[in-house]
Structure 1
Amino acid sequence: MVVINPWSKRMQPVIGILTAKKKDGTIGGNGSLFIELQKKLISLNGISFIFTLDGVQDDSIDGFTFIPEKNEWERIISPYPDLVYNRIPFRKSEEEIKNSAFFSHLNDKNIPFFNPGFIDKYELYQLFKEHPILQTYMPATIPAFQKQKLSAFLSQYQTIYLKPSQSARGNGIFRLELATEKKLMLNGIRKSEEFITFDHFWNEWENILREKNYLAQEEIQSKTYNGKRFDLRILAHAENDKYIVTGVGIRQSQKQDITTHIPSGGKLLPYTLFKTKELDFFIESVVEQIGIALSQKFGFFGEFSIDAGISETGHYYIYEVNSKPMSFDESEIETKKIEHLCQLFLQLTVHNNY
């Protein structure tokens, strides 16, 4: 059923959640997030709908809205929303959006666009290395597509991580170790390889490193808890012209120590086990500095998550920043996320509505 212009004038704000279709033609994205946002927005007298670029017209948008009473999605044709929230799950789809006329339509209509897009890991590293505060927390990183530079980098640090510059969730990460003067060990989440020389490694991996824009990053000897390394996962949101910490989770490696991500076998630990005034201060300060730096460089960022760590010597490190945070397994953090997002939607749309 198609409902044309379903929004009551009293429903403010109207949030359009931009996503993309999967290869099979179905709509992708975090469905549970979209549903929870809709429920919270309705309680605040607002409403939301999801849409893809295919549904965008000059004066209206064809999409879907969730009806809590029916517990189902309903197709709608709506006027342009008060704000567009970018939750496109695929980088290729996001490039299509950026190359379309959609952004100019939003600018013409003075509609805010929440979050510019995915972050390239090397662009992020370059930005933070020029920052007076954040540079102290960055592991050494170089592009991995020049043979001599990569070989020298490996010789310098003995063990390095190889990461695709545009991946997420730990996908495609490998640890490369100079096991002896010549022999190399390459370990991934699911496979390991041995190379008798760097040349042998390069001959097999050169094309992969180039095609996926791999980065090389020094391995940080991480602090451990009960003999296993752990990382911090920090969720942050904008609030009243500043950036606040929404929640902090701890992820600990188990069967493999390449990554601590839960889908790859990582374990959840409570932040209270590690909480100190010093660690709280580090988290709060980097959240504020990262939020400002990202928004000044790329455009307004209303949310992001940070993967950070602590070395054996007690030094803090920033490993990654994600512009479209995954769901947290901690229910209290997820609840706060929904609240902060909806309050931010209200804050960003108030000038357009009154």
Structure 2
Amino acid sequence: MNVEFDEQESLDEWEFTVTADRKGERLDKYITESAEDPSVSRTQVQDWIAGGNVLVNGRQVKANYKVAVSDCVSVTVPQAEIAEITAEDIPLEIVYEDGDVIVLNKPRGMVVHPAPGHASGTVVNALMHHCTDLSGINGVLRPGIVHRIDKDTSGLLMAAKNDRAHISLAEQLKEHSVTRKYIALVHDNLQHDRGTIDAPIGRDVQDRKMFTVTSKGGKKAVTHFAVLERFGDYTLVELQLETGRTHQIRVHMKYIGHPLAGDPVYGRSKTVDLKGQALHAAVLGFVHPRSGEYLEFEEPIPADMEHVLTSLRLR
């Protein structure tokens, strides 16, 4: 774990390798505390184990199985059930679209896909109204969705319109070949002009709704940053993701002492006029799944974030 000076994986299938510090834990406890999804309960995990959705070294075991060092624990998460996903006539800012891929500029405050508590008003509901040819690999709740950005993060998001495109884009994400650059406003004066944060991220055992930098069950996470503008008590930065862990940028910037302005979970008391963190997915680049051409898109920060920057410049 280190900071060298010179930031959404799929949650459908999980795989963990037991480390020495977790040896002897009950399997249900181990999975619950290792899961990237903080809403997962121990009771749910026990149901998954009983239903055959969990394998240890390729075989089924009971919930009270005591994990051993180097055990390979694989979990296939059952599809969440929501009564019905309906197409909704919600305006979308389409940046690019063809027969394989659609790229959109998501507004702050919009959830990407339906989940308990957010069954409507999502990107998926809007996409289902906009086009009928979305990929089905991620199931009925997430048709076409290859990756996600947080509800209160704005910016570029790509979706697949067929399974062939989905497989290609997902593989590029897995290989870390997709270009993902974000613009963020962080607290305090970040003195180093650029750097790399290489620190594993896992769920916070003290608060399961949060993630943190941890060597205990954490997954490799790498974020590169470069300073764009300094305001004394704030710094505007560009961040490039090498990996895509849950809340990666928000966790990494908090870790180095510069949490995102407006972040209701990892930030400080509200000091900027934003409904959510000052984070925008500004650049998205990938190889087109059919043509093989590299495509790159860029969208400026939204008006609310620009207003905050203008206010800082006029002080």
Q: Same fold (TM over 0.5)?
A: no
Greater helix content: 1
TM-score, normalised with respect to structure 2:
0.26
Higher Rg of the two aligned structures:
1
| Bigger relative contact order (CA 8 A; separation at least 6) | 2
